[in-house]
Amino acid sequence: MNEINENGEVRLKKQNRHKRHRENLKKSQNEQNIEVSSDKKSQKKPHKKSQNRASKSDMQNDLGIKEQNQAQINQNQSKKRHKKNKNIPKSLIGDEPWQEATKKAIEANRAIQEKRLYPLKNANRSDSKIRITPLGGLGEIGSNMTVFETENSAIIVDVGMSFPNENMLGVDLVIPDFSYVRKIKEKIKAIFITHAHEDHIGALPYFFKEFNYPIYATPLTLGMISNKFEEHELKAERNFFRPIQKRKIYQAGDFGVEFIHITHSIIDSSALAITTKAGTIIHTGDFKIDHTPIDGYPTDLHRLAYYGEKGVLLLMSDSTNSHREGITKSEISVGKTFDAIFSQSKGRVIMSTFSSNLHRVYQAIERAVKFGRKVCVIGRSMERNLFTAMELGYIQIDKKIFIDADQVSKFPDNEILIITTGSQGETMSALYRMATDEHKYVKIKPGDQIIISAKAIPGNESSVSTVLNYLLKSGASVAYQDFSEIHVSGHASIEDQKLMLRLIKPKFFLPVHGEYNHIVKHKETAMSCGIEERNIYLMNDGDQVEICEKYLKRVKTVKTGKVFIDNQVNKQISDDIVKHRQNLADAGMVVIIAQIDKNAKLLTQARVVSYGLVSDKQNQIFAKDVEDVIVQFLANIKDEILVDHWTLETKIRQAVRKHIFRKLKKYPTIVPVIYLM
C-alpha cells in the first residue's frame, strides 16, 4: 500500500513538473510574440503622441511623397510593359535594304493579285463593239435564242421552244418571234447549238421552214435535230449540219467560236467561247460542275481557266438554280437510289423521265440488267433519242434486253422495266395514258413501282399532281419526292456558279436562262465574287445591249414575242385565234339570229342562243332580254344604218354587249346573224 502511494506520488510529481514546464514554454512564446508585434507597431507608429502633434505642413509633405511614389510606380509599370514588347520592331518599312525589298514585294504581290483577278480591269478600247439581243429565254424557262451581231455579220446561239401555259388553249408549243431575224437575215452566218434540250433546239424545224443557215453542234445534238427534221419533212436541210470537234475554233463572219465541254443533264453539252475583235465572250449554256459524270468526261475546267487567264470581256451564265445553296449533286448519285428501289420491287418497275436525259435512262437500264429485267421503251421521243445515242456510240447497251410493248404481258412482272415519257404530266404522254387506262398494251395496276425521275418545270406542277393522283388511285407505289436523290438537277447551284465566275473572271456579266428572280440572285452572287455592280446588266427579251472594253449598255429594244404552234398540223396559230379561244373559255358566246323589217323597223323573228354564259334554266329569260334590247335599239335607229348590213350588225353587237355587261359583268363573244326584209 505504501509502495503504491509512493509510486503514485512520484508519478504525480512528474506530471506536475511536465505541466509547469509546458506552461512556462507557452508563456515565453507569448511574450516573444508580444514583443515582435510591439516592434512592428513601433515601426509603423513610433510615437503616437508626436503624430497627434504633427503640423499641416507635415501632412502635405506626406501627400507629396505619396504622389511621388505613385508616379514612380506608374513609371516602373510602363517600363515593364515596354519591356514585354521590346522584341517587336517599330516598323517593317524603313530605309534598310531588307525593308525596302519587303515594301517592293508587297506592292508587287498586290499588283499580281489585281491582274490575276481582273485581267481586263484597265482595258478601255471602244473601237470594236458587239451587240447582243436575246429573243427568248429571259424571264422564263425555255425558248432560248440569242443573236450576236457586229457591223458586218451575225450569229445565232440556240433556237429553242417552250411549253404553253393553261390559258393558251389549243396551243402545243411556243416559239420565239423571228421578226428581228428577218430584219438582219443577210448578216447571219451560222447557228451554234449548245446542247440538245427542247428549250434550245425545239424551234429549229419552224425556223428552217423560213431560213437556212449552217448549224454547228455536237454529233448527238445534230442527231436529235435530224429526228425533228424528219418529222417535219425537212430531210434536205440536213445538208446544213456541221458536226464540231471540241477545243477547235470555227470561223463564222467576224466570230470565232470554240465548243468547250461541260456537264449537264444531257450528253455532250457545250459552253461557247466566242472570240471577236472587241474581246472574248463565254456563253456557258446550261451547265453544272459534275466531277464524276456517267461518261467519265467532266467539265473542261482547264479550258475555261485558259480563257479566264487570257481575259474575258463578258460572261453569259446559266441562272436556273441561283437560289439553291451549295453544289449540285452528281448524276451518279441517282444510281444508288435506283439500286435501293430495284432491289425492293417485286412487281414491274416503270420509270419516267425526260426523253433527253439519256444518262438517267442508261442508269435505269444498268439496274434492269443487274436484276434480270427486260426493258421496254415506250414513247416516240424516248425511243428515238435512246437509239440515236446508241447508234452514235454514246451509250453501249446490248439490244437483246429490249422488248416491244405488246410483249410486256408475256413476262413475269418482276422481270420487266418500262421506260417512258410523261414526267411532266402531259396528257398525251405514255405514262398519262397508262394511268388513265387508255394505253393499248400497258395499264397501271397494284404492285407496280413507278419512278418519276424529274422535277416539275415551273407551270407544270398541276399536271404532275394530276398524273400522280391517277397513279396512286391505281394502287401503284410512286417514288417521286420521297426519295431525296430520285432526281438531281442539271443546273449549277450557287457554289458552282461561283466557281464558274472565278474561273472566267469577266469584266462584264450578263446572267441568262431563267426567270427574273433567278437572274437577280445570280447578280448578287457575281457581286460577291468581285464583279462591280455597274458591270452587270439584267436583260429582258428584246433588249439589245452593246459591249466593248469601255462599257456595257442597252442601246435599244427590238420586236420580240411568242408564236403559238398547233403540233397536230405543225402550223402557226395566230394571236387573235388564241385570244378568241381564251375569251370563249372565260366569258362564253352568244349567237343572235334575227329577221328585221327594215321599213317598219321591227324585229319580226329572233332566236338567241348562249354558250358558257348562263345556265340552261336561265337561257329563256336571257334570250327574251336580248330580244327586248334589239327592239328598243330598232326603235331609235337611224334610217341610213339599215342600208349598211355590216354597220347594222356592229351596232347590234355593241348594244347587246353593253346590256350583258350591265347584267352579268361579262364580255362574251357575240355573233349576230341579221336578215333584212
Residue by residue, what is the 3-state secondary structure of 435-503? HCCCCCCCCCCCCCEEEECCCCCCCCHHHHHHHHHHHHHCCCEEECCCCCCCCCCCCCCHHHHHHHHHH
Out of 58-62, 100-104, 468-472, least confident range? 58-62
Q: Provide, rounded to the nearest whole percent, the portion of the chain with pLDDT above 90.
A: 55
Q: What is the pLDDT of residue 10?
A: 45
The three grid cell numbers given for residue 326, joined into one nine-digit string: 451549295
> What's the rounded Cα separation, in Å, for the pair 377 and 620?
55
pLDDT at residue 568 above 80?
no
The three grid cell numbers given for residue 579, joined into one nine-digit string: 385570244
Q: What is the pTM of this model?
A: 0.78
Q: Which residue's entry shows cell 354558250?
A: 611
> What's the rounded Cα separation, in Å, for the pair 6 and 387?
132
Cα separation values, 90 from 87, 96, 118, 249, 362, Å: 9, 13, 35, 58, 68
243-277 pLDDT tens trace? 999 999 999 999 999 999 999 999 999 999 999 99
pLDDT at residue 457 above 80?
no
> What's the rounded Cα separation, in Å, for the pair 52 and 464?
104
Instruction: Check if the beta carbon of residue 156 is closer than 8 Å to that of residue 188.
Output: yes
> What's the rounded Cα separation, in Å, for the pair 341 and 106?
59
Q: What is the mean pLDDT of the chain?
A: 86
pLDDT at residue 517 above 80?
yes
6 confidence band (pLDDT: 50, 70, 90): very low
285 confidence band (pLDDT: 50, 70, 90): very high
88 confidence band (pLDDT: 50, 70, 90): low
Pairing mode, if any, of strands 188-192 and 508-512? unpaired
Residues 109-138 have a mean pLDDT of 91
Sign of CA dihedral 264, 290, 538, 149: negative
579 confidence band (pLDDT: 50, 70, 90): confident
Instruction: Check if the beta carbon of residue 623 is closer than 8 Å to that of residue 592.
Output: no
The three grid cell numbers given for residue 482, joined into one nine-digit string: 420521297
203 confidence band (pLDDT: 50, 70, 90): very high
- The tally of CA atoms less than 13 A away on the side-chain side of residue 397 is 27
Q: With left for phi above 0 and alpha for psi between -120 and 50, is residue 447 left, alpha or beta?
A: left
Look at residues 439, 419, 429, 425 and name the one whose alpha carbon lies nearest to residue 470.
425
369 confidence band (pLDDT: 50, 70, 90): very high
Query: How large is the angle between the packed helices 358-370 and 380-391, nearest 10 degrees?
Result: 80
